[in-house]
Amino acid sequence: MIIHRDALRALPLLAVAFSVSTFFPATALAGATVEMTDECPPIEDRSDEDCTKIGSYEEFRELIQTNKPEGELVLCPFDVQLSPDDKATWIKTDLHLICQQMGKCTLRDGDYHLKVHGSNQVTVQGFNFVGASHSAFRVWEKTQNVQKVCHCSFERYVHWTSTRAAFRYLFLYFVPTFCIYLLLVASYDSIDLT
């Protein structure tokens, strides 16, 4: 087998492609299989509707997790900050959680924002999830129904495990491969491995 210099030039690109696909998966939605469909409810003008006001993350968590509302729940626009000590809000009922104004209900920072548990069906619509360090929306692995995340945005999501793994991969695989590549290209026009 003969490997030509042109083929050797592709090794670093292949290593980068492999490392990106392996260590930077779309992990904003972690846990069970989450089916993303086009069956989201349409965006409706809800400016005239009554909405529930949220002043802090504790109020949000108490409303969703402790009061366990079912059906449709419209929240007034809010922007709350989670501390590293705040626990995720578990949704354990059939719930359609709607922001009155699309994109104006924001949960910031913290480890996790929302977790779905049980055999319930949840739709979250119009939320903005910013800076979760682990997972903004996690579906418990034993949840069997389709969960819907509609018209939501995920910003500045940082998962330290993925980042650390990518750096480890970069220095343990990509850098040595690139060094070998440079040595081979500088030394040979082609290599005969037979």
Average pLDDT over residues 20-36: 40
pLDDT digit string (tens) for 86-124? 999 999 899 999 999 999 999 999 888 999 877 788 999
pTM above 0.75, yes or no: no
Give the pLDDT of residue 15: 39
Nearest CA-CA partner of 78 in 50, 47, 99, 109: 99
pLDDT digit string (tens) for 46-90? 877 889 999 999 999 999 998 889 999 999 999 999 988 899 999
Distance CA 192, CA 190 (A): 7
3-state class (DSSP) for residue 179: helix
